């Protein structure tokens, strides 16, 4: 039996996590996909945190009022801005993915990405200002 030499797989990177988060040399579609994954993970974590915070209602009005006092601090409002970015980006990139998946804009993915992310950024900026002014 011949000795089988281990071969290096040119497709699989040596450090997969580093390769996944490294944007150099990537197309805009790949970056959009990676950001969509990250926002999906963030929104899922937020969902569970949100449910845990809502359980404070079971402890009574006093614990809820103390949470509201914390929720109005600038640091907490900044977390709301991060959440808003995740929601708006994920929503508009999801619209792009759905349109491309239906064959509506297969050859205009990059343009569609820029237009929808531009709209998302405008909505995000308006929302961020409203979070800090109300």
- pLDDT tens readout for residues 31-89: 888 889 999 999 999 999 888 888 877 888 888 888 888 888 899 899 999 999 999 99
Residue ranges per domain, the chain? 16-133
| pLDDT(1) > 60 | no
Mean pLDDT of the chain: 84
Spatial separation of the C-alpha atoms in residues 74 and 12, rounded to whole Å: 43
DSSP per-residue codes, 7-65: ---SSS-SSHHHHHH--TT--HHHHHHHHHHHHHHHHHHHHHHHHHHHGGGGG-HHHHH
On the question of pLDDT at 99 being above 70, the answer is: yes
Class of 16-133 in CATH: mainly alpha
Whole-number pLDDT of residue 6: 58
* CB 124, CB 85: distance < 8 Å: yes
Burial (CB count <10 Å: 0-12, 13-18, 19+), residue 92: buried
The better pLDDT of the pair 14, 90 is held by 90
Q: Is the pLDDT of residue 24 over 80?
A: no
pTM of the entire predicted model? 0.75
Asked if residue 2 has pLDDT above 60, the reply is: no
Q: What's residue 87's pLDDT? A: 95
Cα dihedral: 15, 21, 25, 26 (round 10):
120
Contact between residue 49 and residue 82 where contact means Cβ atoms under 8 Å apart: no
pLDDT at 9: 57
């Amino acid at each position: 039996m011949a000795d089988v030499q281990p071969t290096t797989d040119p497709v699989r990177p040596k450090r997969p996590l580093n390769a996944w988060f490294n944007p150099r040399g990537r197309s805009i579609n790949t970056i959009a996909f990676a950001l969509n994954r990250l926002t999906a993970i963030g929104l899922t974590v937020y969902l569970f945190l949100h449910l845990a915070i809502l359980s404070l209602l079971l402890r009574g009005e006093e614990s809820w009022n103390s949470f509201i006092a914390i929720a109005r601090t600038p640091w907490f409002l900044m977390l709301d801005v991060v959440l808003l970015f995740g929601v708006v980006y994920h929503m508009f990139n999801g619209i792009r993915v759905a349109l491309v998946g239906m064959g509506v804009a297969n050859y205009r993915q990059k343009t569609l990405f820029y237009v929808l992310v531009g709209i998302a950024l405008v909505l995000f900026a308006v929302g961020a200002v409203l979070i800090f002014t109300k």
